[in-house]
Structures are given as C-alpha cells and as structure tokens.
A and B are shown apart, each in its own frame.
Chain A
Amino acid sequence: MVGYEPPVGKTTANPGPQSNQPAMVSIETSSPAASRLQCESPHDGARLVIEHLCKTYSNGVVALDDVSLTIGEGVFGLLGPNGAGKTTLIEILATLLIPTSGRVQFDGIDVLRRPQKVRRRVGYLPQFFGFYPNLTVDQFLNLMGRLSGLRTRTRRQRVSEATAMVGIDQLGRRSLRTLSGGERQRLGIAQALLNDPPLLVVDEPTSGLDPQERLLFRNLLFDLGQGRVVVLSTHLVKDVEFSCADMVVLHRGRILFRGAPAELVAKARDKTWEFEIGSGEFDQARQDSRLVTVVEDEQGRFRARLVADSQPAPRAWNVEPNLEDAYILLVGGEGRAEDRG
C-alpha cells in the first residue's frame, strides 16, 4: 500500500486512439491514482521516444546528459529540483531548442528534422508566458487559432471546445489583463489545445496557483491525459503524485529514477523515520540534508521526519513513506530546498 493519498473520484482509463494499441481497462474506483498505477505500462504504446539526448549550453552548462525515455499516453511527470534540466527537455520537445546530440521522435516523426510537422501535433504551455493585454479571451484564442492555420469554422468550434474543457467558456469577453492567475493558466492550456494536439507539453503549470486552483488544475491535466501524451514538468511533488502514473526524476541533467510513483515510494520503505527533537535541536536538524519536515505538535514539541538508510537517532521510529520522502531520499538536500506544494 502506498503511503500517499490519491484524490477520490471516478476515472476511466484511456482506450488509446490508435487501433494497434492495446485498449486499457475501464476502472471505477474510489482511488483513481492507485487504479492508474494498475494500468498497463506506457511503454507498451510508446509514442514519444527520446534517445541519448544531450544539451550543453554555450556557457558550458550541461543541462541534459544522455537522457533516454519512451513515453506513452497519459500524464508523464518530469520531477526534479531547479536546474535539473526539465525546462530544457520541455523546450526541446516543443521544438524551441535544439539538443547538442540525441534524437527525439513523436509518432515516428523526427522532432529535430521536421519541427514544422511536429508543431502541428504539439500543444505547449510555457512556464512563464504572457498574453496581449489589449485582447479579450476570445480574440486571443482566435488569433492563436489563426496562427495555427485553423479555418474559421474549425477554429470557432475548437475555441468553444477548448474553453469549455478548461472551464473558461464564460470568460470570452473578458479582457486578458483582468484574468486571475488560475484563469490565465487555464487560458494557456486552452491555447495549447486549439489544434487538438496528441502531445501536450506543460512546464510548471501549477506554480503560483492557490491550493484550490492547483487541485483543479491537476484534475484537468489528468483529464487531458486521456487519449494523448501529456508531459508535465514540475518541481512540486504533489503535482506528480496526483496526476501521473509514470514519471522520471531528473537531477543535474540525468535520470535518477524512472517508473511509477508507487515504485519510487517503495524505495523509501524502512528508510523514513520520525522522532521528537527539543527546541534547541531544531536548527541542527534543519541542516540535515535528509530532513523532510519538522512539525510542531499541540504540546509544542517538535517532530522531525527524515529519510536515512539506518536509524538516525535511538528514539526514532519507522513510518510509512510518501512520494515526498522518496524524492528527498533520491535527490537529497537540493530537493528539500524546493517548494513541495
């Protein structure tokens, strides 16, 4: 049993758009994330293939170092601390960056050799993006539709579908400058969906959102993963925990882990500890790179939670790990420095 709480609800696993892909089973459960883990491995219907990808910037920084991945339908999580190479990988997938070496293929099309063809199949939501403040939501989406070469009737239909899908269909006449952070992110997703892309690439989409918006956005991403490949780059462990059935942990341009979140959690089993510390030990505990959290209970006592191969203190007891613990165990102190949402 995994130690993290999945969202409660109903989900139907993806049947796959291509006839040669094995249909996945419809599952109705109170624990969709757990059920997603039971789905077939995405490797079976791999559509995005990344081979030995390396990227070294002109200043010598190695952003990606021999990254190889095969990704199937559903939401795929790219987790890692800042500077891990997530955005570089995302920008290569979005045809914005050219790698130093390696190969990327989507549905058999070489992303590097035929970027224009791939662009017709990619929806991209950058980490930081702007809108034209003097346009309304409808005008902006229509402009993006025109730039994507959609004909009038198709464009109107797609704009209507995309706004309904992300829940901003009532905001058509609102000026872009009046949108909240969550609404802007939804609009970003809507523009990425306009050409109905089989590959959706989203970079840190929940950064800066309030908890409620974050939750809604995770559910939206999961819905979008039905029938398409969604690559979600994030440094928020909970984004991956709630949205992804398959993930990698990137660190300094290398893949540290590849698999289901539950497999990563299993790595921290028997290595997650809690123990009480005095208020004097608080600062010392914070220096420990293995520390996950320190919480203060109702009696004013501090309880530290850390990951270690062996019992860190005589009074420490073993606890059930969660994805966050496993991530800290893998990445160390650099992961702890992140906002873990």
Chain B
Amino acid sequence: MQANSRNDTGIAGGAAGRSQSDASRQRRARLARKVAHLGSLLWFSSRLTLGRQALVLVVVAIGVFAVSALTGKITGEREVFLVLLGVEMSFFVILSMGLLPREKDAKTLELLLVCTRSRHGLLLMKFVPVCLFVAAVGFGLAWAFHWLTGGFPMVKMLLIPYVLGATIGILTVVLSTHVRNQYAAGAIALTLAIILGITWFKPVETFYTPRATRMMVRQPTLTLNRVLLVVVFSFLYEQAVRRLQRPELWMK
C-alpha cells in the first residue's frame, strides 16, 4: 500500500514536473514568437521610418564631431553637453516631424489606422526606431568626445540630452498631428525647445550641472526638474496616442 502510494506520488510528481516543464517551454516559445514578431516589425518600421535620412544624419553627426575636434572648442563637459543636446534634439525633431504626416501624404495612414494594432503599438512602432537611432548616434558621439577630452560622467552625458531630446521628439509628433505638416511641426518644435530651454528649463544649468557650478545649484531642483521632464514626456506621449485614437482628425 505504502509502496503503491509512494509510487503514485512519484508518478504524479513526475507528471506535474513534466507539465511544469511543458508549460515553461510553451511560455518560452510564446516569448520567442513575440520577440520575433516585434523584432520583425521593428525592422520593417526602421526601414520605412529611417531610410536614407538616417545615413545623412550619421554623416552630419560625424561632421559635427570633426568640426568640434578640429576647431578645438570642446574643452570640457559643458561644451560636450551642449553639442550632444543640440545634435540629439535636432535629430529627434527631424526624424519625428514626418512620422505621421509622411504617412498621411503617402496615403498609407488610412491603412494603418484601420489595422487592429493598438494606437500605443502604432505610435511605438513609429517612434522606437527613432529613439534607437538617436541613442546609437548619441552614444557614438559621447564616446568619441570622451575619447577626445576625457573626464566626464558618461551615463549622465548620455541620459540627460537623450531624455530631453526624446521629449522634444514626442512633442514634435503631437504637434504634427495638429498642424499635419512635417516642416511646420519641426519648426514649431525647435522654436518651442529653444524658447523653453532658454527661458524656463535652462537645460544646461538646471538639468545638468557642470562640475564647476555644481555647488551653486540645489540638488532638489535638479531632481524635481528631472521628474517634471518625465511627467512632460508621459503627458505628451499620451496626447499623441489620444490624437491617433481619433482617426477622424486625419480624414479632413
């Protein structure tokens, strides 16, 4: 009896173990399928979103670095920060301004809007390739400047201009849903970025404190501003999704 019971328990335990391992195998397979699906979507989306424009921007970034290195104006982290901020912000604006208006002009937007993919999915499909491209360019430039000048914190230098640029990028997407013209959206976004940057955010002094002035800025302000930046980004992202959830705005 006891032996039987032990046997049963053993069989049951074995079956449970097998079913557990089957379940985990299925989970892994599902995850692999999902990753493959998203990866191929990202690949297609990158091809459609970036294209030749990306090659030109890479050349521009190399040019910016070459000019900065040759003129010898990059002496410290403040200058590096300014260059990275300028490059990343303008790249975000250039790549984001046409994400939706270009689809509208090419008359492909209607097909996308009728697809079953959620509006978050559609927006991410368009915006993520831009983010990845700018991240790659930003990393390349930061690494090159680090090699040139040395002595600045890479993580901060990578993150802060990038998050600022991404916020301006998503602002450009929201603006493009209103004005429905990529050049107008780009111009407005850059103007807003410059005005807000100078008069309110003061990106160099408030979001990033070069070592020389670090003692003069209270840390809570920095943290608050960074939180504010994330809030602004989230708000703008939500606005862009909401605009996409109203396809009639594009059908006028």
Assess whether A8 is interfacial by the CB under 8 Å rule.
no
**Which residue on A lies nearest to B110, using beta carbons?**
A126
Instruction: Tell me whether B116 and A96 are in contact (CB under 8 A).
Output: no
Assess whether B48 is interfacial by the CB under 8 Å rule.
yes
Contact flag A98-B248 (CB < 8 Å), given A124-B114, A134-B51: yes
Instruction: Tell me whether A96 and B251 are in contact (CB under 8 A).
Output: yes
Q: Which listed segment binds B: A14-22, A29-37, A43-51, A147-155?
A: A147-155
**Which residue on B lies nearest to A122, using beta carbons?**
B114
- Give residues of chain A (84-124) contacting chain B, Cβ–Cβ below 8 Å: 91, 94-98, 116, 119-120, 122, 124
Instruction: Tell me whether A95 and B247 are in contact (CB under 8 A).
Output: yes
Q: Which listed segment binds B: A138-146, A214-222, A223-231, A255-263?
A: A138-146
Instruction: Tell me whether A126 and B247 are in contact (CB under 8 A).
Output: no
Q: A147 is contacted by which of B106, B107, B115, B252 (Cβ under 8 Å)?
A: B115
**Alpha-carbon distance A147/B36, docked complex (angstroms):** 14
Assess whether B111 is interfacial by the CB under 8 Å rule.
yes
Instruction: Tell me whether A148 and B115 are in contact (CB under 8 A).
Output: yes
Instruction: Tell me whether A146 and B107 are in contact (CB under 8 A).
Output: no
**Which residue on B lies nearest to A129, using beta carbons?**
B107
Instruction: Tell me whether B116 and A149 are in contact (CB under 8 A).
Output: yes
Residues of the A chain whose Cβ atoms lie less than 8 Å from the Cβ of B117? 147-149
Residues of the A chain whose Cβ atoms lie less than 8 Å from the Cβ of B108? 129-132
- Give residues of chain A (56-94) contacting chain B, Cβ–Cβ below 8 Å: 57-58, 91, 94
Instruction: Tell me whether A146 and B247 are in contact (CB under 8 A).
Output: no
**Alpha-carbon distance A147/B40, docked complex (angstroms):** 11
Contact flag A146-B110 (CB < 8 Å), given A97-B247, A98-B248, A195-B116: no
Instruction: Tell me whether B37 and A146 are in contact (CB under 8 A).
Output: yes
Q: Mark A169-208, 1 if CB is under 8 A from B, else 0.
A: 0000000000000000000000100010000000000000
Residues of the B chain whose Cβ atoms lie less than 8 Å from the Cβ of A149? 116-117
Contact flag A116-B47 (CB < 8 Å), given A147-B112, A151-B33: no
Assess whether B188 is interfacial by the CB under 8 Å rule.
no
Instruction: Tell me whether A129 and B110 are in contact (CB under 8 A).
Output: yes
Shortest C-beta distance, A315 to chain B (Å), equals 51
Residues of the B chain whose Cβ atoms lie less than 8 Å from the Cβ of A139? 44
Instruction: Tell me whether A130 and B251 are in contact (CB under 8 A).
Output: no
Residue among B41, B44, B116, B125 having the largest count of chain A Cβ atoms under 10 Å: B116
Instruction: Tell me whether A97 and B115 are in contact (CB under 8 A).
Output: no
**Chain A interface helix/strand/loop/mixed:** loop
Q: Mark B101-138, 1 if CB is under 8 A from A, else 0.
A: 00000111011111111100010010000000000000
Instruction: Tell me whether A120 and B116 are in contact (CB under 8 A).
Output: yes
Residues of the A chain whose Cβ atoms lie less than 8 Å from the Cβ of B122? 147
**Alpha-carbon distance A57/B113, docked complex (angstroms):** 20
Q: Mark B2-24, 1 if CB is under 8 A from A, else 0.
A: 00000000000000000000000
Instruction: Tell me whether B111 and A144 are in contact (CB under 8 A).
Output: yes
Residues of the B chain whose Cβ atoms lie less than 8 Å from the Cβ of A91? 251
Contact flag A134-B110 (CB < 8 Å), given A96-B251, A144-B115, A147-B117: no
**Which residue on B lies nearest to A124, using beta carbons?**
B114
**Alpha-carbon distance A191/B115, docked complex (angstroms):** 10
Residues of the B chain whose Cβ atoms lie less than 8 Å from the Cβ of A148? 115-117
**Alpha-carbon distance A57/B122, docked complex (angstroms):** 27
**Alpha-carbon distance A147/B112, docked complex (angstroms):** 8
Residues of the A chain whose Cβ atoms lie less than 8 Å from the Cβ of B106? 130, 132
Shortest C-beta distance, A71 to chain B (Å), equals 19
Q: Mark B26-60, 1 if CB is under 8 A from A, else 0.
A: 00000001001100110010011001000000000
**Alpha-carbon distance A151/B125, docked complex (angstroms):** 17
Shortest C-beta distance, B116 to chain A (Å), equals 5
Q: A143 is contacted by which of B44, B113, B118 (Cβ under 8 Å)?
A: B44
Shortest C-beta distance, B100 to chain A (Å), equals 14
Residues of the A chain whose Cβ atoms lie less than 8 Å from the Cβ of B248? 96-98
Q: A97 is contacted by which of B37, B47, B251 (Cβ under 8 Å)?
A: B251
**Alpha-carbon distance A146/B248, docked complex (angstroms):** 24
Q: Mark B191-218, 1 if CB is under 8 A from A, else 0.
A: 0000000000000000000000000000
Contact flag A94-B118 (CB < 8 Å), given A129-B108, A131-B108, A134-B48: no
Residue among A94, A96, A134, A152 having the largest count of chain B Cβ atoms under 10 Å: A96
Instruction: Tell me whether A152 and B112 are in contact (CB under 8 A).
Output: no
Residues of the A chain whose Cβ atoms lie less than 8 Å from the Cβ of B44? 135, 139, 143, 146
Residue among A120, A122, A126 having the largest count of chain B Cβ atoms under 10 Å: A126
**Alpha-carbon distance A134/B115, docked complex (angstroms):** 20
Residues of the A chain whose Cβ atoms lie less than 8 Å from the Cβ of B113? 96
Shortest C-beta distance, A222 to chain B (Å), equals 23
Instruction: Tell me whether A132 and B48 are in contact (CB under 8 A).
Output: yes
**Which residue on B lies nearest to A145, using beta carbons?**
B115
Instruction: Tell me whether B37 and A134 are in contact (CB under 8 A).
Output: no
Instruction: Tell me whether B116 and A119 are in contact (CB under 8 A).
Output: yes
Residues of the B chain whose Cβ atoms lie less than 8 Å from the Cβ of A195? 116
- 26 A-B contacts, Cβ less than 8 Å apart? A57-B252, A91-B251, A96-B248, A98-B246, A116-B118, A119-B114, A119-B116, A122-B114, A124-B111, A126-B107, A129-B107, A130-B106, A131-B108, A132-B106, A134-B47, A134-B48, A146-B40, A147-B112, A147-B115, A147-B116, A147-B125, A148-B115, A148-B117, A149-B116, A151-B33, A152-B37
User: 17 extra interchain contacts, Cβ-Cβ under 8 A, other than A96-B250, A134-B47, A135-B47?
Assistant: A91-B251, A95-B247, A96-B114, A97-B248, A97-B251, A119-B115, A124-B114, A130-B108, A132-B48, A132-B106, A143-B41, A144-B111, A146-B37, A146-B40, A146-B41, A147-B41, A147-B112
